[in-house]
Structure formats: C-alpha cells, structure tokens
Amino acid sequence: MAFEQFLNDLCNIYHVQKDTGSPGYGLNKQPTFSYPAEPDVPGVACHFGVKSESTSINQTAPVNVKESRIKLTLPTGTDVRLNDKIIDKKNGYEYIAEIPHDVHGHHIFVYVTAKGQQRYL
C-alpha cells in the first residue's frame, strides 16, 4: 500500500495569530490570539487515526464535556505548528495541534485534541 493511499482524508490548517488589542470595557491592551477566516494551508491530504483515539467524558452541570486526542498523519513538508487549528473537511470537526513530529523525513504526525459539549435535553 502506497503512503499516498493511506492519506484518505482532507484537512485545512489555520496558524494561530498574535495581535495586541484591548478586550474592551476600558481594559489596557494585551496580547490576543485568533485564527484567520481563510486557511493558511488548505486541502491537505491527511489521515485521522481513529484507532489511536483517546476519549474521555467529564460529567458536569449543565453539559457533559467530551475530550478526544487523535493521531493525525500528514505528508512531509506540511506547515503545521503547535496550537494550529485543524478542521477535518469531511465532517467539519475542529482540532488543536500539539507538537508535530517528523518521522525520518517520511511523514509528520501530530496529536490533535478536540473538545465538544453534549447539551442536556
């Protein structure tokens, strides 16, 4: 099986941007962080390793919080950084990247985390 066939998903990568602005209410300027509206690296072939997924659900009131940690595989040379936002184009789920690891110049893997809420009925 060729490595290119292993990359069966597509994702968009957004680099975190630092700015200095006031949060309002008369507060002083301070560093703020945000993501751009358009992806910095669009349509990257990737593979979300769902078998490596680590999921936990914290029961809190009024909502339950689901946290997932998934291994994401990318082609070598992909510009992915710590705290980048990664969106799975198949289902629209959003993830935040941890530290990327280059595997002998062959590919890159990075653990991504997702947080979601389950609303009460």
User: Which residues of the chain form beta strands (DSSP E)?
Assistant: 9-14, 17-21, 30-34, 41-59, 64-75, 85-88, 94-97, 101-103, 107-118
Q: What is the pLDDT of residues 12-28, one digit of tens each?
A: 999 999 888 777 788 88
CATH T-level assignment (fold) for domain 3-118: Thrombin, subunit H (2.40.10)
Average the pLDDT over 105-110 and give the result: 94
pLDDT at 35: 93
Where are the chain's structural domains? Answer: 3-118
Please, which pLDDT band fits residue 121 given cuts at 50, 70 and 90?
very low
pLDDT at 42 over 60: yes
**pLDDT of res. 87:** 95
pTM: 0.81
**What is the overall mean pLDDT for the chain?**
86
Percent above pLDDT 70 for the chain: 91
